[in-house]
Amino acid sequence: MTDNPPASNRGVRIPLPNMVNPIDFARFDWYEMTFDGEDDGRELMLLSAALGVRPIAARGRNGYAAAQAFDRAGVRLCVVYGSSARAGELHIEVQGGACDELVPVLRRLWPEHRVSRLDVAVDMFASFDTLDAACLAAVESSGVRHSLIVNSEGGATRYLGSPKSEVRVRVYKKSEQLIALRPHLAHEVVAGIVRAEVQVRPSKREVKARAATLSPAACWGFAQWSKTIAAAVLGFDAERTVTSVNASSDWRRIRHYMQRQYGPAVAKRALEVGTVAMAAELLELFKLEQLEG
């Protein structure tokens, strides 16, 4: 098996004639997540049991020295990266049609994860020129950068947003892209599919954690201008995504990681000196007794 086998299903999903709400077929097409786990094989066993396949060795990247891939029938489901400088940190990447199966599984197994990148695609039968013009009209007053790339094979892609920004939108001729990728399977490609896709790459840790809870459609709300495109062009209202967390949510996250990292050591100290003495030591350590006065 190759290190990166081609996917036979690139995740195209188009609306049925009676499906009038595009929000129903918005779907993840790329999902990258990081979480703090046990980098000793146990997490791989959990994922293997959930997917019903065994991992195979793959190439590490971006500071992760080790990697394990999960393939099924020649289709890559995901890659798990580990052995980084940050002890216990694991990173998982899922692309294409595998997202439909994998994202719910990953969210169930590791709900406390952080999303570094997600793409949400909406496929439809449409005129590219008409959809392109509608997108430009939707962002005309926002000052969003955009560019159009065309090729001699009939492909075309409109990019909206800076390549370095957290949010970017692509609108492109999906049928032509599939034919260019696999010309020998051109006869299997349905003609006339255009894809609108939002890419989100959160920079703040709390926003990454927030992204791990959102539906595909909600991800169009990460920027006001992408929300406008969703409403004006795709026909659904994506609630503006809140990119900050309140104090109580932030404290729950801090408490979770404190317990995970220092819980065993604190429990051991309590056995040695007693819970009252241990609590007094913590109060002194964090200067909390001064607040009582």
The token pair at 185 is 């399977």
pLDDT tens-digit profile of 236-270? Answer: 888 887 665 444 555 666 676 677 667 788 888 88
pLDDT for residue 257:
63
194: pLDDT strictly greater than 50: yes
Domain identity same for 221 and 273:
no
* Residue 3 belongs to some domain of the structure: no
Measured distance CA(100)–CA(188) in Å, rounded: 21
Domain identity same for 196 and 92:
yes
* Residue 15 belongs to some domain of the structure: no
Q: Give the total number of structural domains in the chain.
A: 2
* Residue 131 belongs to some domain of the structure: yes
Residue at a domain's end among 234, 256, 273: 234
Give the C-alpha distances (Å, rounded to integers) separating 100 from 147, 201, 221, 228: 30, 19, 20, 25
Which of the given ranges, 30-44, 147-161, 256-270, 275-289, has the highest pLDDT on average?
147-161
Give the C-alpha distances (Å, rounded to integers) separating 210 from 5, 98, 286: 32, 22, 29
What is the crossing angle of helices 247-273 and 275-285, to 10°? 130
* Residue 6 belongs to some domain of the structure: no
pLDDT tens-digit profile of 154-189? Answer: 899 999 999 999 999 999 999 888 888 888 888 888
* Residue 141 belongs to some domain of the structure: yes
Domain identity same for 145 and 251:
no
CB atoms within 10 A of CB 203: 10
Domain identity same for 142 and 276:
no
pLDDT tens-digit profile of 92-121? Answer: 999 999 999 999 999 999 999 999 999 999
Complete DSSP assignment for the chain = --SSPPPS--------TT---GGGG-EEEEEEEEEE--TTTHHHHHHHHHHT---EE---BTTB-EEEEEEETTEEEEEEEE--SSTTEEEEEEETTHHHHHHHHHHHH-SS-EEEEEEEEEEEE--HHHHHHHHHHHTTTTT--EEEEE-TTS-EEEEES-TTSSEEEEEEEHHHHHHHH-GGGGGGSPTTEEEEEEEE---SHHHHHHHTT--TGGGGGSSHHHHHHIIIII---PPPPP-S--HHHHHHHHHHHHHHHHHHHHHHHHHHH-HHHHHHHHHHHTTTHHHH-
233: pLDDT strictly greater than 60: yes
The span from the first CA to the last CA of the chain, in angstroms, equals 67
Domain identity same for 149 and 179:
yes
pLDDT band at 2 (very low <50, low <70, confident <90, very high): very low
Domain identity same for 176 and 284:
no
Measured distance CA(20)–CA(18) in Å, rounded: 6
19-36 average pLDDT score: 82
Are 14 and 123 in contact by the 8 Å Cβ rule? The answer is yes
Domain identity same for 256 and 207:
no
* Residue 241 belongs to some domain of the structure: no
* Residue 31 belongs to some domain of the structure: yes
CB atoms within 10 A of CB 216: 22
Domain identity same for 184 and 263:
no
* Residue 13 belongs to some domain of the structure: no
9-24 average pLDDT score: 53
Domain identity same for 151 and 266:
no
Domain identity same for 35 and 180:
yes
Find the domain containing 196 and state its range. Answer: 22-234
pLDDT band at 7 (very low <50, low <70, confident <90, very high): very low
CB atoms within 10 A of CB 35: 18
pLDDT for residue 5:
41
Domain identity same for 191 and 275:
no
Show Cβ contacts of residue 60 under 8 Å, excluding neighbours closer than 6 positions.
Answer: 66, 67, 81, 83
Residue 223 CA from chain centroid, whole number: 16
pTM: 0.76
Domain identity same for 254 and 154:
no
